[in-house]
Amino acid sequence: MSGDSRAEILRRVRQALAVTSDGGAPGEDRTERGYLTVHAERTADERVDLLAENLTDYRATVHRTDAASLPATVARLLAERGSRSVVLPERAPRAWVSGAAGVEVLDDGTPLPAARLDEVDSVVTGCAVAVAETGTIVLDAGPDQGRRLLTLIPDHHVCVVRVPEQVVDSVPQALPRLDPARPLTWISGPSATSDIELSRVEGVHGPRTLDVVLVTP
């Protein structure tokens, strides 16, 4: 390295470390970030409708019901799928699957091994929050969601979303509701990937089928 090159490098380093002309600290980022946290004003019903629309665009199947009819809705989804077994997180309400006659209900209170989960047909969980603008369901391993493994191995995921309270407009609105120290899983439709020829393959690293049940009180 020539003397001139070395001098230029050191000059640039000193410049970068120097106090900024407007009095900011060295390295301080003073970029203006006036980002929108939401892109439209919506009523609660409009927010839920947008979530349903975007979930459908991602090839999830959306169902609407009320709390009283939720067990019957879950039972119907399991029957349509031909599920003979379903796993529930340890602290998920057992009422969710109370209408599923003839279906083996497994409890993950004592964590089931991956090999056993691979034999299970379906999983039913809640969620932490749902994002309308992106059609995204977020899981944070909360009481009604359980371990991340539960929603990665079974081929069919039924996700219960309480509306409107669990639905926000945007990702910036969702983040304050989430603890970054928890294991977060962001789901936008069934698990899918594409090869170099853009051939879509589903169920590669998660459930092949995602049913989202929007539940009103």
Please choose, from the candidates 103, 176, 108, the residue with its C-alpha nearest in 3D space to the C-alpha of residue 138: 176
Could you report the per-residue pLDDT of 202-215, keeping only the tens digit for each?
A: 656 679 999 999 99
Q: Tell me the pLDDT band of 25, cut-offs 50, 70 and 90.
A: low
- For residue 29, pLDDT over 70 is answered with no
Could you report the per-residue pLDDT of 144-170, keeping only the tens digit for each?
A: 999 999 999 999 999 999 999 999 999
Task: For residue 15, give the 3-state DSSP assignment.
Answer: helix
Distance CA 27, CA 178 (A): 29
Distance CA 74, CA 87 (A): 13
Letter string b/e over residues 147-163, b meaning 16 or more CB atoms within 10 A of that residue's CB:
bebbbbbbbbbbbbbbb
Q: Tell me the pLDDT band of 113, cut-offs 50, 70 and 90.
A: very high
Mean pLDDT for the stretch of residues 84-88: 98
The pLDDT value recorded for residue 31 is 65
Sequence-distant (6+) residues with CB within 8 A of 161 are 51, 126, 127, 130, 137, 167, 212, 213, 214, 215
- For residue 6, pLDDT over 90 is answered with no
Could you report the per-residue pLDDT of 37-50, keeping only the tens digit for each?
A: 888 999 999 999 99
